[in-house]
């Protein structure tokens, strides 16, 4: 009896270790395709918002960066609680849902919460959020890259010399969190430098707020323009529209943004360095984005 018990314990331990190893090898991708069908963006967006609110999400903003695309930004208690428990967790306090025309169909997709939890080095993996989004919007497949394991995502950068998650741009410094968040809110709401406010979420229990921003460039400064950038890099059949909008984070008395060589790359990690539809075609974008954001929120 004792020998059988020991044998069962050893077998159980073996199965657990194999399962853990397999979990470590799971490849995560940036986006999830919820559905694709005929219809209009307006019709699908209305259905999506109803489904999300029914599932317990709060819609905090909506952004139409160009014709045929709409992005709905949501949060819930799990997202905000996880953000509060994570360093710079505000970046992961929301999920983005896109409704995009693609040929004769409309695609409904969303950011992959588990993937995002790891690239943003959050304390929890947001599996509950992933399950809630799947129940509300469906889940056909993950897409957007060949994929990374959780371990790879947590230490990701595009290539040697390029920024990691913990190397953001510091855009401004104020005397206090209260002054910083009020100033940033007002400046973004006034639509300066082509940078517009899409949403704001305050992180509970800490001096941190995340803002979503839309960016529209001019003829002589198109490098920071959302439509220009997406025209160059979002060229595959499944659309990665939920890459937008960009974030500005107020943490304490300072204002930050993830540098675009990281922020763009986490959603397009397989994009080639050179050639057609490559990072070379948006080479000026990272610095143009940084300058536009800095000029908008500076004291």
Domain that holds residue 154: 27-297
CA distance 36 to 52: 17
Domain count for the chain, please give it.
Answer: 1
In a domain, 17, yes or no: no
What would the DSSP string read from start to end of the chain? -HHHHHHHHHHHHHHHHHHHHHHHTPPB-SEEEEEEESS-HHHHHHHHHHHHHHTT-EEEEEE--STTEEEEEEE-HHHHHHHHTSTTGGGGS-EEEEEEEETTEEEEEEE-HHHHHHHTT-SS--HHHHHHHHHHH---EEESSS-B-HHHHHT--SSTTS--TT-PEEEEE-SSHHHHHHHHHHHHHTTBTTEEEEEEEEPTTSSEEEEEEEE--BTTBGGG-HHHHHHHH--SSS--GGGPSEEEEEETTEEEE--HHHHTTTTSTT--SSSTTSGGGGTTHHHHHHHHHHHHH--
Task: Judge whether 7 lies within some domain.
Answer: no
Nearest to 242 by CA among 263, 267, 265: 267
pLDDT tens digits, one per residue of 160-207: 999 999 999 999 999 999 999 999 999 999 998 999 999 999 999 999
Tell me whether residue 128 is in a domain. Answer: yes
Asked whether residue 171 is domain-assigned, the answer is yes
What's this model's pTM, rounded to 2 decimal places?
A: 0.91
User: Model confidence over 84-120: pLDDT tens digits?
Assistant: 999 999 999 999 999 999 999 999 999 999 999 999 9
- Sorting pLDDT into bands at 50, 70 and 90, what band is 221? confident
CATH code where residue 222 lies = 3.30.310.70
Q: Is residue 270 domain-resident?
A: yes
């Amino acid at each position: 009896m004792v020998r059988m018990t020991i044998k069962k314990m050893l077998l159980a331990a073996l199965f657990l270790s194999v399962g853990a190893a397999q979990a470590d090898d799971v490849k995560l991708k940036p986006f999830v395709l919820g559905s694709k069908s005929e219809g209009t963006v307006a019709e699908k967006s209305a259905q999506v918002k109803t489904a999300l609110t029914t599932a317990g999400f709060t819609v905090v903003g909506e952004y139409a960066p160009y014709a045929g695309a709409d992005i709905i930004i949501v949060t819930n208690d799990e997202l905000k609680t996880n953000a509060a428990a994570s360093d710079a967790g505000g970046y992961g306090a929301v999920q983005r849902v896109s409704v995009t025309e693609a040929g004769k169909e409309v695609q409904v997709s969303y950011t992959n919460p588990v993937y995002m939890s790891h690239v943003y080095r959050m304390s929890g993996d947001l599996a509950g959020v992933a399950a809630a989004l799947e129940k509300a919007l469906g889940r056909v497949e993950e897409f957007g890259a060949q994929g990374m394991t959780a371990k790879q995502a947590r230490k990701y950068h595009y290539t040697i010399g390029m920024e990691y998650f913990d190397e953001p741009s510091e855009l401004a410094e104020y005397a206090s969190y209260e002054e910083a968040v009020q100033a940033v809110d007002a400046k973004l709401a006034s639509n300066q430098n082509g940078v517009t406010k899409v949403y704001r979420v305050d992180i509970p229990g800490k001096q941190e707020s995340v803002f979503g921003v839309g960016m529209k460039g001019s003829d002589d400064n198109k490098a920071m323009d959302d439509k220009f950038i997406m025209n160059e890099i979002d060229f595959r059949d499944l659309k990665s529209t939920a890459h937008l909008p960009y974030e500005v984070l107020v943490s304490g008395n300072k204002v930050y943004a993830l540098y675009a060589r990281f922020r763009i790359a986490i959603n397009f990690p397989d994009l080639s360095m050179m050639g057609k539809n490559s990072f070379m075609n948006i080479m000026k974008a990272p610095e143009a984005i940084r300058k536009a954001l800095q000029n908008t929120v500076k004291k």
